[in-house]
Structure 1
């Protein structure tokens, strides 16, 4: 299984380039930021109840 950086290099960067983006120009494309993934229980707890 590929990690995120391999997926970006193999799939995402190629598609960005095909669309005309310069993946090596930091004013057009930047590296993604790490985000915290909450366990499903925390997501359910933080949901609003209308």
Structure 2
């Protein structure tokens, strides 16, 4: 799931993600916060650089 959210074609739509609470499925489930508009290629590139550093 992590690869799909960070490297797939959907990465520009994903703002954040984390494991769900135990009552919602725990580590077997994932919360995903989506953007209303996708990141532009320029901002996407800057965002990836910030995550690496």
TM bracket (short chain): under 0.3
Q: Which has the higher strand share?
A: 2
Higher normalized contact order (CA 8 Å, seq sep 6+, divided by chain length)? 2
Using the size of structure 2 for normalisation, the TM-score is: 0.23
Greater Rg, structure 1 or structure 2?
1
